[in-house]
A and B are shown apart, each in its own frame.
Chain A
Amino acid sequence: MAYFLQQLINGLTLGAVYGLIAIGYTMVYGIIGMINFAHGEIYMIGAFICMIAFAVLGFMGIASVPMALLVVLLLAIILTAAYGWTVERIAYRPLRGSFRLAPLISAIGMSIFLQNYVQLLQGARVKAMEPVISGGFVLMRDGSFQVTLSYLQLMIMSVTVVLMAGFTTVIHRTPLGRAQRACEQDQKMAALSGIDVDRTISLTFVLGAGLAAVAGVMNTLYYGVIDFFIGFLVGLKAFTAAVLGGIGSLPGAMLGGLMIGLIEAFWAAYFDAAYKDVAAFSVLVLVLIFRPSGLLGRPKVEKV
């Protein structure tokens, strides 16, 4: 039981981060029907900004951890969002209205560009950071086995829950959310009824990048090691999560992320860890066979 609980905590932490990134994929897909392959790299940039910001703060001698954390988080969100906006402006907007594959190829190009950009600027070496927040609670004891929940794991999970709640409110209760839903249904009609479609799409990218930045900061704090390549693997997992949950669906992305995280943790816990990715992708295949639009996705109704 204690073992199960500990693995549950591991899986939820992992899944929360996947979920945060998956939302970026799913929002963009929902609104313009395109997979933003550069999203994993946006997350990587968020992680790098976090590490640079911590280094600068340390240099300036700001010692208060909550203060530093807040500053770093804000900086990362703002700068990464700027990257997200720029990527959309440069690589996707000029291609809007051209054939469907064009922005997809452009996204892959952007992903390669961003990877190399960071590699050239920051070097190919692994960057590491000493733990900023350590320690945690002991939830339960079973013999000598202690179930621990570190402050960071708790922080990752609670930040994810808060952001999820915030986003659901934004989508369902605010004018921006209404505009997003309108664009999702029919861009031309939305434009006719006075919605600035370009602005709405830009804001969607900015929001997605902001979430990826939060995920980047969390991961940097939690694992303490980053390099220019981290966006690829995490991006792939998050994309899988978005598809599993039903691409285009916000709660679906979160659910998909949690499921991938939990499958990985539990497979590694009870079977050979070497095959945990096989397990995660097999579940994806099974789900797609029986529910082609994902767990919470709505099948697209062809309009006549």
Chain B
Amino acid sequence: MKFSRLALASVLSAVLLAACGKDDGDTIIIATGAPITGEYAAFGEQMKSGAEQAVKDINAAGGVLGKKLKLEIADDQCDPKQAVAVANQLVNKKVKFVAGHFCSGSSIPASDVYNAENILMISPASTNPKFTERGLAGVFRVCGRDDQQGEVAGNFIADKFKGARVAVVHDKQAYSKGLADETLKQLGKRGVAVALTDTVTPKEKDYSALVTKLKAANIDILFYGGYHSEAGLIIRQMREQGLKTRLIGGDALVTQEFWTITGPLGEGTLMTFSPDPRKNPIAAPVVQKLQAAGKSAEGYTLYTYGAVQVFVEAVKRVGAVDVAKLRDLLKKEKFQTVLGEVSFDSKGDVKAPGYVFYEWKNGKYDYTAM
């Protein structure tokens, strides 16, 4: 009796497994994991529209190896636990490639799942060094790293704001802490004394206590490791209490939503980001198509587009969706994308032009004139 039940169970599960494995005849399933809802949904939208546009364009041009791409959008809400859950869902959906995630705190735990399940991962946006430092073979990124970003930020503050009183604040999330720590390190190397370091709780609304602290310490420059929504609120509350402190942030400020929150109070806010891909002539047709569809090509939109292009290009060269071969190829060859020519080092980091400074002015961000 016991034996027959076991036999029945194994037959049933074999049937189920067979039913699962039946699809991917003429499609290759890829995915993007991003915060579609929640505080950082603005970035999720960037990645979603970038990935959708890429898939649309590639399918219109005949697909890959005669197959069409199918895109799955997975919402991780920038929450590490949620990221692992959606990563497992994507595994069940037989996804071969993930262009994601956005938050480093999500990408790092999700990458363990993808790596174990033999799924290729290229993050368009996660900058925490740890993401590629753990020796996972199938993990890449087309954006820079926070040790580069922190170095640029630290040098900029040391060069342009000599004698200013500097504070460094972050919100304890993986990306934020990483960036703040790297910046602190570089400031230390350059001999800049930091007058105040503190942390805040993300997703809160009230930062008045921090603002008063900054006011009491006479801070001129606040380096903030964190995302646009908190940075925007801190700026609003600084101005409310009569503080003229200038906020300098990282690449998580590159969304128009930042200006929606601050309005004109955000004028003069500085941030580091990779050279703007919207200015590449090669990206012009894509930017136009996005704009025609009423979408923006800001921030990480084109990075996500580029990540999908890298995958497709590599699949074409290998001639099959064989992740083991793909990841070896990625580390050797060069790829033409909307981001320009992209190549990766042995860790999976992009050999990129690094970081430059942007400034928010009149509701737009552009290279700073400083």
On A, residues with C-beta under 8 Å from B are 3, 6-7, 10-11, 13-14, 119, 124-126, 128, 130-131, 134, 136, 138, 144-146, 148, 150, 152, 219, 223-225, 227, 229-230, 233, 264-266, 268-269, 272-274, 276-277
Contact = CB atoms under 8 A, between A and B. Distances in A.
Chain B binding surface, main DSSP class: helix
Given A152-B240, A225-B229, 5 more contacts: A126-B41, A131-B263, A150-B240, A227-B38, A269-B213
Given A124-B38, A125-B41, A126-B261, A230 B240 contact: no
Contacts of B198: 272-273
Counting from the closest, the 4 A-B pairs by CB-CB distance are A268-B209, A124-B37, A10-B208, A274-B199
A233 B241 contact: no
Contacts of B218: 144-145
A269 B206 contact: no
Contacts of A152: 240
Interface of B: 36-39, 41-42, 45, 172, 198-201, 203-206, 208-210, 212-213, 215-216, 218, 229, 232-233, 236-237, 240-242, 257, 260-261, 263, 265
Contact of B42 (A125, A225, A230, A269): A125
Contacts of A219: 205
B200 A14 contact: no
Contact of A274 (B201, B205, B213, B237): B201
B37 A10 contact: no
Contacts of A124: 36-38, 41
Contacts of A276: 201, 209
B229 A3 contact: no
A145 B172 contact: no
B209 A224 contact: no
A3 B216 CA distance: 7
A227 B242 CA distance: 26
B209 A269 contact: yes
A55 B241 CA distance: 26
Contacts, number: 106
Contact of B39 (A7, A13, A126): A126
Contacts of A227: 38-39
Nearest to A5: B212
Contacts of A130: 263
Nearest to B265: A131
Nearest to A125: B41
27 contacts: A3-B216, A6-B212, A7-B209, A10-B212, A124-B41, A125-B42, A126-B229, A126-B260, A126-B261, A128-B257, A131-B263, A136-B240, A144-B218, A145-B218, A146-B242, A148-B240, A148-B241, A148-B242, A150-B241, A223-B236, A233-B204, A264-B209, A265-B208, A268-B213, A269-B212, A273-B213, A274-B199
B212 A225 contact: no
B201 A230 contact: no
Contact of B208 (A14, A136, A229, A230): A14
Nearest to B258: A128
A281 B257 CA distance: 33
A131 B213 contact: no
A272 B196 CA distance: 11
A223 B205 contact: yes
A224 B200 contact: no
A119 B37 contact: yes
B74 to A, nearest CB: 15
Nearest to B197: A272
Contact of B212 (A7, A126, A274): A7
Contacts of B172: 274
A14 B41 contact: no
B209 A10 contact: yes
A119 B38 CA distance: 10
B209 A265 contact: yes
Given A146-B242, A225-B233, A13 B208 contact: yes
A11 B208 CA distance: 9
A233 B201 CA distance: 12
A63 B198 CA distance: 40
A134 B42 contact: no
A11 B212 CA distance: 11
Contacts of A14: 206, 208
B38 A224 contact: no
A124 B263 CA distance: 20
A124 B48 CA distance: 14
A126 B42 CA distance: 8
Contacts of A6: 212, 215-216, 241
A20 to B, nearest CB: 15
Contacts of B45: 125
B57 to A, nearest CB: 26
Nearest to A130: B263
A34 B204 CA distance: 27
A134 B215 CA distance: 18
Nearest to A13: B208
Nearest to A142: B216
A13 B240 CA distance: 14
B240 A128 contact: no
A102 to B, nearest CB: 30
Contacts of B263: 128, 130-131
Nearest to B216: A3
A125 B257 contact: yes
Nearest to B75: A124
Contacts of A277: 201
Nearest to A149: B241
A230 B212 contact: no
A264 B201 CA distance: 12
Contacts of A11: 209
A6 B242 CA distance: 12
B36 A225 contact: no
The residue in A13, A125, A152, A276 that gathers the most chain B C-beta atoms within 10 A of its C-beta is A125
Given A7-B212, A124-B38, A144-B218, A273 B261 contact: no
The residue in B37, B201, B209, B210 that gathers the most chain A C-beta atoms within 10 A of its C-beta is B209
Given A124-B37, A130-B263, A145 B205 contact: no
Contact of B257 (A126, A131, A150, A268): A126
